[in-house]
Amino acid sequence: MKFGVVTFPGSNCDQDMIDALRYDLNQEVINLWHKEKDLSMFSTQDCILIPGGFSYGDHLRCGAIAKFSPIMQSVVEFANKGGRVIGVCNGFQILCEAGLLPGVLLRNQNQQFICKNVFLKSENTTTSLTKDVTGRPLMIPIAHGEGRYYADDATVEELFKNNQVIFRYCDEFGNIIEQANPNGALRNIAGISNKGKNVFGMMPHPERAASSILGNTDGQLIFQSLINNN
């Protein structure tokens, strides 16, 4: 399994992602510049990652300009063929703007940038990203100002009905409660997938919790689940 990590002007978590995959998980990683279009070196068994940061300075709104980068047309085509795509933080915002995932990410409820460890858990056994981590709380950092997931009621109901909610904010014991929701996201949603279960978006940063040097390897478990269930 190969991973491609896209760098946009303003990306600042691309190297974190590359290091986590290459050195902590011993995976083959190819760095992709946003002006590239050729993804022919990747099969549908591989994965393209859209990292966090401030693509194009978050002008207009987060991800709104990045969706027009040349590589995103290729990423959309790759996803439509069944290839795996993961967007983390700003990457999640970009995937929503590009129409690969439903909903939007709004300003945090407290109108402030939040950077801290949070807990999240999955109850979803239907996706490769979550299959091996269901039922247990994971401590994963967040760092965002616009991470409050929002969609209309019908869309949210459909997400739950189709098992497209992949992560929800919880407390350290795994309780999904309002007090554990850092940004006001609807129903504590921290991550979702598309209907095909091959495109994933999440606000927390698993690549920042993938090294024993950092004192936290919970993020490794998420990537390892994807690799194990390829």
Chain segment 137-163, per-residue pLDDT in tens:
999 999 999 999 999 999 999 999 999
For the question of residue 123 being annotated catalytic, the response is no
Look up 205 and say whether it is catalytic: yes
Every domain of the chain and the residues it spans: 2-228
Reply yes or no on whether 144 is catalytic: no
pLDDT, tens digit, for every residue of 45-71? 999 999 999 999 998 899 999 999 999
Structural fold of domain 2-228: Rossmann fold (3.40.50)
Q: Residue 95 above 90 pLDDT?
A: yes
pTM for the structure as a whole: 0.97
Of 89, 96, 97, 146, the catalytic one is 89
Average confidence (pLDDT) over 16-37: 97
Quick: pLDDT tens for 158-190.
Answer: 999 999 999 999 999 999 999 999 999 999 999
Q: Which of 148, 147, 125, 149 minimizes the C-alpha distance to 136?
A: 125
Contact 102, 127 (CB under 8 A): no
Determine the pLDDT at residue 175. Answer: 98
Radius of gyration of the chain measured on its C-alpha atoms: 16
Sequence-distant (6+) residues with CB within 8 A of 43 are: 2, 83
Q: Which residues contact 15 (CB under 8 A, 6 or more apart)?
A: none
* Catalytic annotation, pick one of 62, 97, 170, 207: 207
> Read out DSSP for 172-229?
TTS---GGG-SS--GGGEEEEE-TTS-EEEESS-GGGG-BGGGTB-HHHHHHHHHHHT
| Alpha carbon distance 183, 173 (integer Å) | 19
Q: Give the span between the Cα atoms of 194 and 100, in whole angstroms.
A: 7
Beta strands at 148-150 and 199-202: parallel, antiparallel or unpaired: unpaired
